[in-house]
Structures are given as structure tokens and as C-alpha cells.
Amino acid sequence: MAERKLARLFDVRRVIGGLFVVYGVIVTLIGVLDGPSELEKAQGVRINLWMGLGMLAVGLLMLLWLRLNPPKEPKPEPEAEQPVRED
Amino acid sequence: MTGLRLDVGFVDYLILAIYFVTVLGVGFAARRAITSSADFFLSGRSMPAWVTGLAFISANLGALEIVGMAANGAQYGLMTLHYYWIGAVPAMVFLGIVMMPFYYGSKVRSVPEFLRLRFNRPTHLFNAASFAVAQVLIAGVNLYALALILQALLGWQLWTSIVVGAVIVLAYIVLGGLSAAIYNEVLQFFVIIAGLLPITIIGLVKVGGIDGLFEKVRQGPLGEAGLHTWSNTGGTDNPLGASWIGIVFGLGFVLSFGYWTTNFAEVQRALSAKDMSAARRTPIIGAFPKLLIPAVTVIPGLIALVTVQGLGAPEGDLTYNNAIPLLMRDLLPNGVLGVAVTGLVASFMAGMAANVSGFNTVFTYDIWQTYVRKDRDDAYYVRVGRVATVAGIVVGIGTAFIAAGFDNIMNYIQALFSLFNAPLFATFIVGMFWKRMSAWAGFWSLLLGFLAAFALYIAHLTEVVKFNSDLEQSFWGAGLAFVTAVVVALVITPFTPGKRDDELQGLVYGMGGMTAGDTVAADRVWWRNPVLLGVVAVVLAIALYIPVW
């Protein structure tokens, strides 16, 4: 049971998803607050806003994928080197 | 604005700090999952193909590669694309389709171990030792390059940067072994892309799209030649100074097949896959992103060429190597700037982690367990692996200062590759397809091939033999090593005893090895067929060439 929990927590999709959601939120917020000087530097592109939303979307997709297709016991995804145990 | 110093703010440091915390967290999580040496060194052979595939490409996507390829883009124009489309993709596909069945099927834990089974112990020891040394040297180069970038961009002391970088890589590998390295590599892949993409987007907006970029390149120092890949390769009158023969055989065949198919730091990612099918798909899945990576390396190189005044100076801040850092300085506002700095730092750590995890595996399994302390319990070898990691990184810090003595570190790396990988590839390819090749022929091929390339390198350094460029030297060095190794194999084999058929099962073409039981039912669907995926990757590489012929 402990291993199953660990395998779930340890899935790489959760790590990528978590990091990108956090980055997405931070960068999107910066993007909303960007003033004229930032916009001028970025050639008028609201780059923080767009990259922030993009990273947020990637992060959420990773988490969604994890939810729709969680690591299974019989055919373990990352981690869980032990074959099925009777628990 | 003077120098390369970036205008980093609190947010940018926050983004970098979050990354470090995440990376260390992965190390701690992986530590709890490690119960055997196979877990530590091979991730328990449990990784799905998309994870190992992205780790495979990430292990190569060190910052040297990114910074170096952008520099080449600015210097040579679109001919740099050859490094990707003919230099990497065909070799990766070949590894997946032809060679992986031998590697994964023979259940070896490392590339040197394959040599021990196919040839003999001296071959094995020579390769294991030279690989271990090369990995530590290259880890030092990555560390030094990381420190240089942090010093230039953030104003950190060289010493501080080297120690911070080393400590973080050390922490997550000692804790989590290859699992932590692979997980972080996959994470790094996404961060690197997220960090580089804004440079391409804003850069293209600035120069008026891809048409505007090409128009400006045409009027610049490279001219029309900078926008073509194959035209004028009948001779050497092109930016790269190489004919199509050099590109196809030197770069496409000897150098890149040598690198991608025998470099254990790469192959190890595929060996950690959960089954044969996933192992074979690993390099092929990696080939697809590899096709598109030029969009965030070569294109920014060209953008830097046409937007940064005076780029291409022989020294100072305006060298080609600084193309990406200069664009970061000029184009990225705080926020995406932090992501880009994180991506660059991440990619150095990816390169270094790949070297270190390759080193500790080969040291523990191939040197310590095989020649020094046999038959200890498994936990003992996990401990040895952890100690080897610490030692490797400490020595790496030392070699970082050796690397500081070379003015062009990219050429230093290329020279190392042509010395070690080309003779190894020749020995492998003959040994895999010619079952008569004897054990001692393997040893002498490897040794004399290495010595031939080494002699040519020394002749080049002392200017006894003159080459147009270091690049040309590495091509000839690799070619010479390859030919020497093949000839030696052909000459020595008739005079030495071959191996018995039963010793070669699963190691040589036509001697069995791939058992049908390795394929799970779910993997027989067409989109998981390695051959089909490989063919698609090669066709795409050819198709991508058409607009820039």
C-alpha cells in the first residue's frame, strides 16, 4: 500500500504538471501586470501572459493525463519495480 | 547596457529557486523507492517509453549543445541543420531498430558489459576505464560552462557557481540514482523548451517573421549561402567548408553513429525502459523532438546574427557562443527571463547528471564489481555507487578547472568524442554482424583505433598535419579511427580463436536474442512499431530539408 501511494506521488507527470502549474500562475500574473517598458523590450508581444497561459495549459494537461490514465498495478508505469503483490 | 549581465529581478530568482526545490524533492522521493542496485543504476527497468525517450534527448540537450548550436547557426547558417537531420536522427533510428535488440536483449547493464560478453575482459576493462575517464572530463566541462554562464548572466562568482551546480547534481543523484536523473531530465526538457521558445517568438517578431529573417540573412555576412543546406556541397565552397561526402560519411555516419549508438550516457536511458519494445522506441521517440529543436537553437542563432551588432567577434562579449545569452538580455522581460535562465541552468545540470550517472554505473558494475570486489550483497554496490557519485563529482570540479584552460570548450568535447566513440562504434558494428570476429580482435581494434585518432589529434595540436579547422580534424580523426579499427579486426581475426556459438547467443546478428515473449500484446499496435516510427522519423527529416535545400 505504501508503495502504491509512493508510485502515485512519484509519477513524472505529477512533477511536471505541478511545476508548470506553479510557473504558469506566476508568469501569467507577471504578464497581467507588465507595464510599457516590459512590452517594449518584448517587441510589443505580451510574452509573459502568453507563455504563462501556455505553461499553465501544459501543466494542467499533464495532471489531466495522470487522472485519466493513472499508473496501474499489473502493468506499472514509472516506479513500482515489484510485480503485483497480494495485498 | 554593457556586458552580458541580465536584469534579473525577484521573480526570476523565485522561478530558479522553485526549480531547485523541485529537483531536490524528486531526489528525496526517488530515494524512498530504491531497494536494489538495479533500481539505483537502471531505474529497476521500469520506465515507460515516452519518459525514457525524452530523457534520451534531454541527456544530449546539455547547455553546451544549445549554446553551441546557436553559435553554429550564427556562424554557418542553416548548414547547422545537418547536425540534427542527418547527424542525429538516422543514428537514433538505427540504434532503436538495429542495435537495441542486442543491448536490451542480452540484459547487459552497460555498454562495456556488452563488450565483455562479446569479446573478452581486456576489451571490457579498456573501454570501461576510458569511458569513466571521459565522463568525468566531460562532467567537468559542463560544470565549468555552467559556472561561466552564471558568472556572466547573474554576476555569481565562478567558485560559487561551480559549487552550487555540483552540490545540486550530487544531491539528487546520490539520493535517487538514475531514476532521479531521468525524472529530472524529463522535467528539464520541458523547462528548457519553455525557456527558449520566447526567444524565438520575440526574435521573429522583431525581424519580421521567417521571411524577414531570411531577407536580412541574405543581406548579411553569410548571404544566400547561409540559407541552404546542400547546395554547393559538391565542393567545399560553402559556410561549413565541407563537401557532401564529408557531411554524409563523416558527420552523418562515423561521428554521429559513434556518438548515439555507443555512448553509454545515452544508451543507459534506453536500458532503463520497462520492456524490449519500450527500449527500442526510446531513441526513436527522442528523434521526433530532435527534428524540431533547431527552431529554438539554430533560428535564434540567425536572429542574433542579424540583430546583434558586431556578433562574431573573436573574443569578448560578442562571440558566437553568446548568441543565446545576448538575445535573453535584449528581448526577455522579467518572468520569461527567469524561465530561460532556469532552462539554461537545467540543461547544464542535465548534461552533467547524464555524465555522472553513466560514470557511477560503469565504475560500480564494470570496474568495482568485476575486478575489485565480487560477490558482495546488492546493498553494498548501491553504497559503492553513491560513493562513486561523490568521487566523480569532486574530480569533476577539478576537471572543470582543466577545461578552463581550453579557449574553445566545444572543440575539446568534439576531440574527446572522436577519440573514444569512433573506434568503439567500428568495433561494435563489426562484432555485431560478423560472428567470426575474435575476442582479441575486439581488444586490438579498440586500442589501435583509439591510438590512431589520438596520434592524429596530437599531430593536429603540434601542427605536424595541417587542417582547415578543428571540425575538419575531428572528422578525419573519427574516420581514421573507424577505418583502423575495421582493418585491425579483419587482420587479427584469422590468427586468433573465435568464440563458440553458444557464447554469442543474443550478442551477434543471426544468433537469436529477441524472444517473441518480449513483446506485450498492447505493443503490437502499429503506432508502437519501432520500425514504422523510425521510418516516419527519417522521412520527416528528409521532408524538412526540402524548403532549405
Sign of CA dihedral B220, B226, B228, B234: positive
| Mean local confidence (pLDDT), B176-205 | 84
pLDDT number for residue A57: 93
Quick check: A47 and B51 CB within 8 A? no
- Measure in Å the smallest separation between the Cα of A81 and chain B Cα atoms: 6
| Mean local confidence (pLDDT), B399-405 | 73
Distance CA B179, CA B32 (A): 11
Q: What is the CA radius of gyration of chain B?
A: 23
List B residues 241-300 in contact with A (Cβ-Cβ < 8 A). Answer: 274
Contacts of B32 in chain A (CB under 8 A): 6
Quick check: B36 and A22 CB within 8 A? no
A23: confidence class by pLDDT, cuts 50, 70, 90: very high
Kindly report, residue by residue over B333-349, the tens digit of the pLDDT. Answer: 888 888 998 888 888 88
Identify whether A6 is part of a domain: no
Identify whether A23 is part of a domain: yes
Three-state secondary structure call for residue B273: strand
B35-49, B468-482, B516-530, range with the lowest pLDDT = B516-530
Quick check: A43 and B194 CB within 8 A? no
Identify whether A85 is part of a domain: no
Identify whether A39 is part of a domain: yes
Kindly report, residue by residue over B509-521, the tens digit of the pLDDT. Answer: 766 655 444 555 5
Distance CA B493, CA B491 (A): 6
Distance CA B297, CA A47 (A): 19
Identify whether A12 is part of a domain: no
Highest mean pLDDT among B129-143, B144-158, B374-388: B129-143
Q: Provide the number of structural domains found in chain A.
A: 1
Task: Find the CB nearest A34 among B36, B47, B333.
Answer: B333
CB B452 within 8 A of CB B476: no
pLDDT greater than 70 at residue B294: yes
One-letter amino acid of B379:
A
pTM of the model: 0.82
pLDDT greater than 50 at residue B52: yes
Identify whether A59 is part of a domain: yes
Q: Which of B149, B202, B144 is nearest to B343 (CA)?
A: B149
Identify whether A61 is part of a domain: yes
pLDDT greater than 60 at residue A3: no
Is B183 an interface residue toward A (CB < 8 Å)?
yes
Distance CA B113, CA A35 (A): 59
Distance CA A9, CA B33 (A): 11
Kindly report, residue by residue over B419-430, the tens digit of the pLDDT. Answer: 888 888 888 888
CB B186 within 8 A of CB A58: no
Closest residue on chain B to A4 (Cα)? B33
Sign of CA dihedral B343, B346, B348, B350: negative
Q: Which CATH number fits domain B2-405+529-548: 1.20.1730.10, 3.40.309.10, 1.10.10.10, 3.40.980.20?
A: 1.20.1730.10
Q: Where are chain B's structural domains? A: 2-405+529-548
pLDDT greater than 90 at residue B416: no
Residue range of the domain that includes A41:
17-68
